[in-house]
Structure formats: C-alpha cells, structure tokens
C-alpha cells in the first residue's frame, strides 16, 4: 500500500531525508501576525524580499516537518490509510524541495547591507547581539544542520519564547554574545572543547534554540535603494517558483484527508473517532491555513509588486465587507440552484454599511461567508421543500465594533436539535443521509468542485479561518425555527498567529 503510493508519484523518501525531517521537527514554528505581513508595502525592494525568502525557506520546512510527524503518529491505524500516506508524501516532497534550494553566493558588501546585528534588550539592559544572517551561525547548504540522528542535541519544546539574557552559568563559560554561539550547536552537537556537562549541554541547547527562533522575523527593513546584484532577484525567483509548485501540489489536501478519514471508518466500522482525531484535524488544518497564507503572501509579494495600491500580497488594506458578502451570496445561491434544480434560490439580504472596510484577507472572508450562507440556503430549501413557491430570505447583518466586525447569518431553516449542536464542529458530521463519493483522483485536483453538503467540513474549517487572525465563529440554534451564525473578525490586526 505504502510503496504503491510512493511509486505513483515517482518519488521516494530516503533515510537521509527522513532524518532531516525529524531534525527540523524539533524546532518551534515562528508566528507571523497580519500587521507584520503588511509592513512590506505594495512594492518591496529585492533586498527585503530576499530576507523574506530566507525566512520562508527556514520556516516552512519546520512547519512541514511538524505535520509529517503528526501524520506518522495518528492513532488506531489512521496513519496507514492510502490517502493519509499520500498527503504525508506531499509534505515530505515539499520539505525536500525547500531545503534543497542552494543559497546564493554574495559579496561581503552585499551581506553587510542585508544583515544588521541587532541588540537584544531585556528589562532595559542590553544582553548581547543577535546576528540576523543565518550564515553567521550555520554552515553548509542544508541550513547549517548536521542531520545524523545520533548527533541531534537541540530538542526545544514547541511554542514561542521571550528573549532573555544568558543564564549566569553560561555567561561564565564565555557565551555572552549570541553571535558567538558555537556553529556545532546548530549542527546538532556541542563542541567538545566547551567543557559543558551533559545536563548543561541540554539546558544550553534548549535556551539557544529558543533565542535563535525568536530572533527570526518575516519582515526585515532593508535599504530600498541599494543596487542589489542579480543573484538576489534570482534567488527570490527560484523560491517563488518552488512555492508555486508546492501550492499546486497541496491544493487537494483537505479533500484527500477527508477521503483518508472515510477509508479509516470503512476499514474499522467498530472504532469510533475520538477527540484525538478531532484535535489532530484542528491542528493539521490550522497549520495548513498558516502554511498556505505564507506561501500565497510570498508569491503575491513577488509576482504582483506595485500593481494594486490597496493590496500587500494577498492582504487587502481596505477590504470591503459588503462587496465580499454579496459575491459570496451570489456564489452560494448559484450552487444551491444547480444542486437542487431550482429556478430561484432563497434570497440573501445583506445589511451592511457600503463604506465599511478593514484590513483582512479577502479570500479568507469570502470562504467563511460562502460556507455559512451555503449551509443556511440548504437548511431553508430542505425545510420548506424543493417545490416551495417561495422561501424566507437569509439575512446577513454586519456591524462594526471597536474590537471586532461581527457578521450574523440568520436563516429560518428549522434549526438544529440542542443535543446535536456540539457535533457541528466535528469533522465528518453531516445531516446528509447519502454522502457523495470522493473519487480517488478528483480529490487531488486543484479544480475539485465540492458538493452542496455531505462532508461536514464547512463550519469547522471556517471557524479555523476566523480564529487564524484572532476572530471566532459561533452558532446559536432554535430548533423548529432556524439558526444564527456569528462570525467575529478581529479588526485590530494585531493578534499572533496560532501555531500548531
């Protein structure tokens, strides 16, 4: 089973690559806020994009490695399902493509313009320097890491860490300067001549890994008017090309994982999905949103520079909520008419200030509104009958508050029994009696067309999208009447990216 999936793609996981993935999986991911992403402006310089490219090439392999490890450790045989193995294969391939990008050869003058030593201040005191250039603390073409599993020493816990001064016992050993961190530390070993005991090595490894990870930033303010050499633009173009390939490869991840869950259910009808499966899917899909956000943002920054004044990458600095709500309603109504064979789907009344704008990702907002309106349309049509002469309208009401923009989607579709409300957030829960079949090849196509309903992914995924930038999605139902869905969008744009 496993071999057939690998052969189908003409790619095979080597022991060396497996060790490399295990090594990267030990490092914590670095969060990026919406506000950080718009610091680039609409027309960033090649130098700024180069620093962002380096961040992407370092950060995405860490996130991909975490997901590979999650896919390997699923309970009750879920990891062995063909579709799950296929997704794992995609993540491994993408990891290899990013970590195999050769770094450009740059002159000392160019490096000095790209990288600045930044003083770290804690409690008003300067505690040394962080060298922003990864090449100053790492060596070789594999991001400076020696990947033999026996040499792995850096094993930090996941999560973010604050910048702190070196512990006194390490300062006594001569490690006052972050820029003087032994290269071997980043190759997975501690230099023998440092004279550190075993317990101190582990403590120092964890400390340095946390400090180094925290010093990495997506946006770096680089001199915009410097005459950057062609190697800079070539590196940016190569990273963008590989990201485009990876993005296309991962288009079918959600539907393929859904198929894997179905395969698992069919092969083990007596085993029920528990909270460990639900928690895994929440983490996995939230991470996927973050990965695709970084990929989409970086591609757009490189491909669409200076073309739209109100866009920074895929982020619109003046997202018009009413326009997106109307477009999502039209899309959902068209699908409803096509699915049920209706002459006219229920109306969707949008109540919103036409001038209400805020900074957001239009694609995310469109997805959430489409899914919630689509659910309401289905509930109304199936409650009142496909042959009804008229239907009560769905109401979309948008209100701006100091912290949030709140969107309420109300329908008269009969509501949900109170005992079933908690299940609407679980994956694969649906009230559809006959679930549409997911064809094996269809799920990996980028143009895969989802049906009106049947997989139970609409609301859970939409809630993850809302939470990604500090919002939320809530549901209140009145059985026998209808349902209200509240979509809260954080308008402050300062929330930290949730890391899985």
Q: Quick one: average pLDDT of 425-434? A: 69
Neighbours of 389 (CB within 10 A): 6
Of 52-61, 305-314, 437-446, the range with the lowest mean pLDDT is 437-446
Residue 195: Cβ-neighbour burial (10 angstroms; 0-12, 13-18, 19+)? exposed
Q: Is residue 231 flagged as an active site residue?
A: no
Of 144 and 422, the one with more pLDDT: 422
Percent of the chain with pLDDT over 90: 56
- Residue 27 pLDDT > 70, yes or no? yes
Q: Is residue 197 part of a domain?
A: no
CA distance linking residue 130 with residue 76, whole number of Å = 45
Residue that the structure tokens 């029920």 belong to: 272
Same domain for 274 and 375: no
Q: How confident is the model at residue 102 (pLDDT cuts 50, 70, 90)?
A: very high
From 273, 307, 341, the end of a domain falls on 307
Name 131's bridge partners: 117
Residue 188: Cβ-neighbour burial (10 angstroms; 0-12, 13-18, 19+)? buried
Residues found in the chain: 500
Among candidate residues 127, 143, 236, 375, the one labeled active-site is 375
Q: Quick one: average pLDDT of 256-276? A: 82
Sequence-distant (≥ 6) Cβ neighbours of residue 474 within 8 angstroms: 485, 486, 488
Same domain for 459 and 362: yes
Same domain for 300 and 428: no
Of 392, 294, 346, the C-alpha closest to 98 is 294
Q: Is residue 46 part of a domain?
A: yes
Whole-number pLDDT of residue 219: 86
Of 289, 293, 351, the C-alpha closest to 321 is 351
Whole-number pLDDT of residue 304: 83
Whole-number pLDDT of residue 138: 35
- Residue 71 pLDDT > 80, yes or no? yes
CA distance linking residue 103 with residue 252, whole number of Å = 30
Residue that the structure tokens 């501690």 belong to: 190
CB 398 within 8 A of CB 351: yes
Q: Is residue 224 part of a domain?
A: yes
Same domain for 322 and 302: no
Same domain for 460 and 359: yes
Residue 340 token pair? 């049920």
Same domain for 441 and 334: yes
State phi, psi for 392 to the nearest 5 degrees: -65, 140
Whole-number pLDDT of residue 433: 56
* Torsion-angle region of 426 (φ positive above 0: left; ψ -120 to 50: alpha; else: beta): beta
CATH number where 27 lies: 1.20.140.20
Q: How many domains does the chain have?
A: 2
Q: Quick one: average pLDDT of 79-98? A: 96
Domain that holds residue 340: 314-490
Q: Is residue 449 flagged as an active site residue?
A: no
Same domain for 327 and 262: no
Same domain for 302 and 321: no
Residue 123 token pair? 């409690």
CB 348 within 8 A of CB 334: no
Q: How confident is the model at residue 265 (pLDDT cuts 50, 70, 90)?
A: confident
DSSP label at residue 348: E
pLDDT tens digits for range 225-248: 899 999 999 999 999 999 999 999
Average pLDDT of the residues of the chain: 79
CA distance linking residue 288 with residue 277, whole number of Å = 16
Q: Is residue 404 part of a domain?
A: yes
Among candidate residues 367, 382, 384, 442, the one labeled active-site is 367
Whole-number pLDDT of residue 163: 33
Whole-number pLDDT of residue 494: 67
Q: Quick one: average pLDDT of 14-32? A: 94
End-to-end CA distance of the chain: 29
From 284, 307, 330, the end of a domain falls on 307
- Residue 432 pLDDT > 70, yes or no? no
| Ordered DSSP codes for 457-487 | -HHHHHHHHHHHTT-EEEEEEETTTEEEEEE
Q: Is residue 375 flagged as an active site residue?
A: yes
Q: Is residue 123 flagged as an active site residue?
A: no
Of 61-65, 197-201, 485-489, the range with the lowest mean pLDDT is 197-201
CATH number where 448 lies: 3.30.565.10
Whole-number pLDDT of residue 441: 52
CB 60 within 8 A of CB 98: yes
From 248, 282, 307, the end of a domain falls on 307
Among candidate residues 374, 488, 490, 497, the one labeled active-site is 374
Whole-number pLDDT of residue 440: 53
Q: Is residue 372 part of a domain?
A: yes
Q: How confident is the model at residue 430 (pLDDT cuts 50, 70, 90)?
A: low
Same domain for 468 and 322: yes
Q: Is residue 58 part of a domain?
A: yes
């Amino acid at each position: 089973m496993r071999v057939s999936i690998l052969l189908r793609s003409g790619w095979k996981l080597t022991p060396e690559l497996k060790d490399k993935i295990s090594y990267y999986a030990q490092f914590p991911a670095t969060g990026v806020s919406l506000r950080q992403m718009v610091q680039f402006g609409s027309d960033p310089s090649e130098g700024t994009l180069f620093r962002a490219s380096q961040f992407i090439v370092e950060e995405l392999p860490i996130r991909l490695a975490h997901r590979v490890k999650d896919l390997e450790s699923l309970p009750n045989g879920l990891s062995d399902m063909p579709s799950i193995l296929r997704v794992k294969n995609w993540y491994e391939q993408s990891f290899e493509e990013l970590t195999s990008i050769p770094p450009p050869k740059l002159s000392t003058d160019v490096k000095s313009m790209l990288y600045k030593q930044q003083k770290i201040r804690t409690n008003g005191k300067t505690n040394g320097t962080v060298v922003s250039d990864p090449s100053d603390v790492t060596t070789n073409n594999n991001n400076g890491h020696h990947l033999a599993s026996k040499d792995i020493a850096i094993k930090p816990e996941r999560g973010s860490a604050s910048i702190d001064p070196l512990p006194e016992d390490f300062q006594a050993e001569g490690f006052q300067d972050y820029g003087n961190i032994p290269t071997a530390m980043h190759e997975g070993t501690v230099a023998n001549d440092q004279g550190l005991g075993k317990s101190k090595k582990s403590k120092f490894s964890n400390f340095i890994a946390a400090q180094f990870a925290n010093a990495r930033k997506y946006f770096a303010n680089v001199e915009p008017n410097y005459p950057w050499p062609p190697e800079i633009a070539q590196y940016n173009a190569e990273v963008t090309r590989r990201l485009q390939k990876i993005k296309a490869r991962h288009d079918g991840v959600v539907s393929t994982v859904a198929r894997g869950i179905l395969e698992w259910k069919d092969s083990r009808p007596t085993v029920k999905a528990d909270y460990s499966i639900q928690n895994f899917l929440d983490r996995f899909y939230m991470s996927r949103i973050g990965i695709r956000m970084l990929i989409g943002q970086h591609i757009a920054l490189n491909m669409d520079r200076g073309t739209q004044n109100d866009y920074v990458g895929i982020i619109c600095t003046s997202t018009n909520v009413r326009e997106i709500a109307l477009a999502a309603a039209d899309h959902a109504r068209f699908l409803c008419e096509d699915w049920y064979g209706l002459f006219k789907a229920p109306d969707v009344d949008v109540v919103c200030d036409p001038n209400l704008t805020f900074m957001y990702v239009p694609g995310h907002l469109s997805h959430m509104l489409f899914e919630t309106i689509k659910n309401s349309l289905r509930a109304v049509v199936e409650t009142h009958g496909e042959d009804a002469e008229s239907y009560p309208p769905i109401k979309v009401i948008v209100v701006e508050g100091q912290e949030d923009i709140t969107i309420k989607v109300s329908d008269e579709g009969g509501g949900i029994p109170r005992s079933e409300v908690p299940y609407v957030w679980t994956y694969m829960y649906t009230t559809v009696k006959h679930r549409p079949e997911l064809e094996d090849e269809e799920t990996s196509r980028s143009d895969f067309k989802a049906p009106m309903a049947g997989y139970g992914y609409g609301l859970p995924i939409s809630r993850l999208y809302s939470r990604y930038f500090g919002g939320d999605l809530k549901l209140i139902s009145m059985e026998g009447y209808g349902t209200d869905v509240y979509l809260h969008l954080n308008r402050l744009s300062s929330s930290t990216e949730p890391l899985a």
